Amino acid sequence: MTDPSDTRDTGPRPYSPLWTFLTGVIVTGFAALFVAEVRLGVGELVALARTSLFWVLVVLVVLGELRPIVVSSSRLAGGTATSTLFTFAVLLYHGLSVAILIHALALVVSGLLHRRSWHRTAFNVSQVTLASTAAAVVLGAFGHHPHPSSPWVPEGAEIIAVTLAALAYFVVRGVLVCAAVALHERRSVLRVLRATIGHQSLVYAALLGLAPLVVVVMSRSPALVPLFVAPLATMYFTASLSVRRDHQAMHDGLTSLPNRKLLILRTEEALAEARTGERVGLLLLDLDRFKEVNDTLGHPVGDRLLQIVAHRLTHSVRPGDVVARLGGDEFAVLLPKVRDAAAAREVAARLRAALTEPVRLEGMVFDLDASVGIALYPDHAPDFELLLQRSDVAMYFAKEGRTGVEVYVAERDRNSPERLNLLGDLRRAIGGSELQLHYQPKVCLSTGAVEGVEALLRWWHPGRGPVSPVDFIPLAEQSYLMRQITQHVIDAALEQAARWWHSGLKVPVSINVSARDLLDSALPDLLEAGLDRLRLPPRAIQLEVTERVLMTDQAYAADSVHALVELGIPLALDDFGTGYSSLVRLQRLPVCEVKIDGSFVQRLGKSVDDERIVRSIVDLVRSLGLRSVAEGVETEEVAGLLREMGCDAAQGWRFAEPMPAAEVTEWLRARPLAAVSAGRCESAEFTAL
């Protein structure tokens, strides 16, 4: 039977239900052991110890206790010690006192060798003693009282007595161990019984069924008893191969944690057992900045780091909780029973605290952190798939807001069945003809010359028609499709820029990138490879990032930002005025250009406050040696006000709406182009770098 304390070596909390149960079993078991040994007598024991059969049985029971037969990878099922065969045989032949004495000795030896805590060894001795006592009582009811001075060899007619004694032995051990496991893992006894009884009953039937044959051999030729090791070894190795295959199918090969398949089974079991008012929690955990480790030190170091993370997580959860690896640096933690969201947050906080302890590998120290999303049954989802999806949504919010832990909130979830269908369509559309770039010109306000164009993504859905970027861009960012979309946009924009530049239209193309893209160390390599392949200078493109992204300390330290500046690729600060920029931070930003958000520009001439804001931004940007660009210019009146303020450039419907590549090409050929200097960002020295 499985050990009730497999995952912990510390004792149960005093006066807890588990502590009370273990104490009762241990006291009762040792009392029965004491009575049985007193009845045996010292003289009988000394005489028995002089026989070779006694020591052969001791060795076989000890070896059997050290090598249990495991027929299931389930931690609840555990293993069945082959010592059961010889212990039950001794019970039938020499009686209760000798059987429990030998088995208790074997359990003590096994406990010492495996360094088990005293309460585990004491419980195992007690439950074996009580099971053997129950079997002896059944035999006594049929008039059989084996003793070393009068051994008993069952005949065919006593098969019923032997069978009932074996059944009593199995039932008592099963109930005691399953109750302890249920209390330790905070599961129902019925669930533990269902998980273990099927596997254990088959092995116990084989072992206990062989016991009468061992008795017969013991009575006729004791020297042949060790031959029973051969069939036991066959059972052991066959079961081991089966369990190994089962384990490989249900566990992650790198960390040995349960995989997604086993997590689904455990979650479905927990949901089926949940009673009214009880909650099941699913935590999704994603490591922050783990990709930097793989990129810098290689995958072997990254794998070792994942193993350390797995070890820390499994030692930071409660008994009965399940830690699984879903792939990459993503882990899940199942809480079969959790009081409420606050309790789940406590578990999440404990997990993050365990990960923040520095890790030393390859002579380096790593500071780990993780973002955790929490979803609860039945509050947030009725089944595993929705629990996983909604914990993923919560994890995304934790990562996006850098809060560490977030509980799913339906009001913040931008997903719906319709949007999930849209997400699937978007995934299939990437790389195809449905996603196309339109280009909106940017015009110098003082000369009217075209300074560049901004690439804007458009999606023409075959069934829905045009889909607004407001609908699918946030969805892509939330579902991790943004990287693929960014790569698609960069490839298409670079190819179009190459066609223009090589035909004489030297127009810089601005590309919008998300926060995740900008801080991705692969972005500079992708751009550099594209520029080299298409024979384009770095000034042929410009990256636009929102104010919120570049105003973070993380952006200052990002290697990708340094690499982009070293390549000579200009950066522009988009949607300026909607964030919380400070003058000091703006001065340190590695940008050449600041784009004033259209929400302010469009109210020029209508709102004195907005006019003051725009004028202040233009003056501030000029004082820092940067260029200012106004977005959303729709009338000549607004363009004139911006020109009077000293704004450098503008874009909007006053000059041109976004157009497909063919149309904008014709539009560009009919207008003057501003000269693009190789050092058009030299005024910004990128003091942060």
Coil, helix or strand for 113? helix
On whether the CB atoms of residues 128 and 102 are closer than 8 A, the answer is no
What pLDDT does 557 receive?
45
Spatial neighbors of 526 by CB under 8 A, at least 6 apart, are 487, 490
Q: Which long-range contacts (CB under 8 A, 24 or more apart) does 260-269 make?
A: 260/324, 260/326, 260/327, 262/324, 263/322, 263/324, 263/326, 263/332, 263/334, 263/384, 264/384, 266/322, 266/324, 266/334, 266/336, 267/334, 267/384, 267/387, 268/384, 269/191, 269/336
Asked if 166 and 88 touch (Cβ cutoff 8 Å), the reply is yes
Using CA atoms, how far apart are residues 304 and 494, in angstroms rounded to an integer?
Answer: 39
pLDDT beyond 80 at 220: yes
Task: Tell me the percentage of the chain whose pLDDT exceeds 70.
Answer: 86
Q: Are 686 and 565 in contact (CB under 8 A)?
A: yes
- Nearest Cα neighbor of 26 from 86, 104, 142 is 104
Contacts of 434 (CB under 8 A, 6+ apart): 459, 460, 461, 462
Which residue shows structure tokens 């014709």?
666
* pLDDT interval class at 243 (50, 70, 90): low
- d(Cα 419, Cα 427) in Å, to the nearest integer? 12
Cα 566 to its chain centre, rounded Å, is: 36
Arithmetic mean of pLDDT, 269-293: 82
Mean pLDDT, residues 676-685 taken together: 46
Q: Output the six-digit token pair for 189.
A: 């006894």
Higher pLDDT, 292 or 406: 406
Asked if pLDDT for residue 256 goes beyond 90, the answer is no
Decide: 4 and 127 in contact? Cβ < 8 Å. Answer: no
* DSSP 8-state symbol, 318: P
Annotate 280-321 with DSSP letters as a single string: EEEEEEEETTHHHHHHHH-HHHHHHHHHHHHHHHHTTSPTT-
Residue 126's CB: how many other CB atoms inside 10 A? 24
pTM more than 0.95: no
Q: What is the mean pLDDT of residues 15-34?
A: 91
Residue 281 pLDDT: 93
Instruction: Report whether 103 contacts 121 (CB < 8 A).
Output: no
Of the candidate ranges 170-174, 381-385, 476-480, 485-489, the one whose mean pLDDT is the lowest: 476-480
Tokens of 656: 């041109």
pLDDT at 586: 61
| Residue 73 in this model has a pLDDT that exceeds 60 | no
Peptide bond into 570 cis (omega under 30): no
Q: What is the pLDDT of residue 248?
A: 75
pLDDT at 531: 94
Q: Residue 528 has what pLDDT?
A: 92
DSSP 475: H
For the segment 561-619, what is each residue's pLDDT rounded down to a tens digit? 778 888 889 888 887 765 544 455 566 667 888 898 888 898 888 878 888 889 998 99
Buried b (16+ CB within 10 A) or exposed e, 49-85: eeeebbebbbebbbbbbebbbbbbbbebbbbbbbbbb
Distance CA 335, CA 185 (A): 11
Provide the 10 A C-beta neighbour count for residue 280. 25
Measured distance CA(291)–CA(99) in Å, rounded: 58
Lowest model confidence (mean pLDDT) among 192-201, 221-230, 305-314: 192-201
Burial class (CB in 10 A: 0-12, 13-18, 19+), 150: exposed
Computed over every residue of the chain, the mean pLDDT equals 83
Write down the pLDDT at residue 231. 79
Question: 190 exposed, middle or buried (CB, 10 Å; 0-12, 13-18, 19+)?
Answer: exposed
Judge residue 342's burial from the number of C-beta atoms within 10 Å of its C-beta, 0-12 exposed, 13-18 middle, 19 or more buried.
exposed
Residue 677 scores a pLDDT above 70: no
Q: Look at residue 187 in the predicted model and tell me its pLDDT.
A: 72
CB atoms within 10 A of CB 569: 23
Angle between helices 189-220 and 83-93 (to 10 degrees): 60
pLDDT tens column, 26-69: 999 999 999 998 888 788 888 888 888 889 888 988 888 887 76
The torsion angle over the Cα atoms of residues 224, 227, 232 and 237, rounded to 10 degrees, is 170
Query: What is the average pLDDT across 662-674?
Result: 92
- Given a cut of 50, whether residue 683 has pLDDT beyond it is no
Task: Average the pLDDT over 244-273 and give the result.
Answer: 84
Number of Cβ atoms within 10 Å of the Cβ of 363: 5
Does 4 have pLDDT greater than 50? no
For the chain, the first-to-last Cα distance in angstroms comes to 63
Rounded-to-integer distance, Cα 88 and Cα 228, Å: 14
SS3 488: helix
d(CA 438, CA 432): 15
Tokens of 200: 């254990």
More confident residue, 442 or 45: 442
**8 Å CB contact between 679 and 659:** no
Euclidean distance between CA atoms 512 and 515, whole angstroms: 10
If one counts every other C-beta atom within 10 angstroms of the C-beta of residue 283, the result is 29
According to DSSP, the residues that pair with 467 across neighbouring strands are 459
What domains does the chain contain, in order, with CATH numbers?
A: 17-248 (no CATH), 260-410 (3.30.70.270), 438-458+473-669 (3.20.20.450)
CA distance 602 to 97: 95
Beta bridge partners, 630, equal 596, 650
pLDDT at 687: 32
Single-letter residue type at 422: L
- Give the span between the Cα atoms of 87 and 89, in whole angstroms: 5
Question: Using CA atoms, how far apart are residues 187 and 280, in angstroms rounded to an integer?
Answer: 12
Span 272-281, pLDDT tens digits: 888 888 899 9
β partners of residue 573 = 545, 594
CA distance 116 to 121: 7
Q: What is the token pair recorded at 364?
A: 């380096």
Of the candidates 522, 573, 537, the one whose C-alpha atom is nearest the C-alpha of residue 552 is 573
Q: What is the mean pLDDT of residues 612-635?
A: 90
pLDDT of residue 689 exceeding 50, the answer is: no
Length of the chain: 689
Residue 87 has pLDDT above 60, yes or no: yes
Which residue's entry shows tokens 């790593």? Answer: 366
Strands 593-596 and 627-630 turn out to be: parallel
Contact 419, 631 (CB under 8 A): no
Q: Are 126 and 30 in contact (CB under 8 A)?
A: yes
Alpha carbons 196 and 181: distance in angstroms, whole number: 11
Query: What count of other Cβ atoms lies within 10 Å of the Cβ of residue 142?
Result: 13
CA–CA dist 318, 350 (Å, integer): 10
> 108-151 pLDDT, tens per residue?
998 898 888 888 899 999 999 999 999 999 999 999 999 888 89
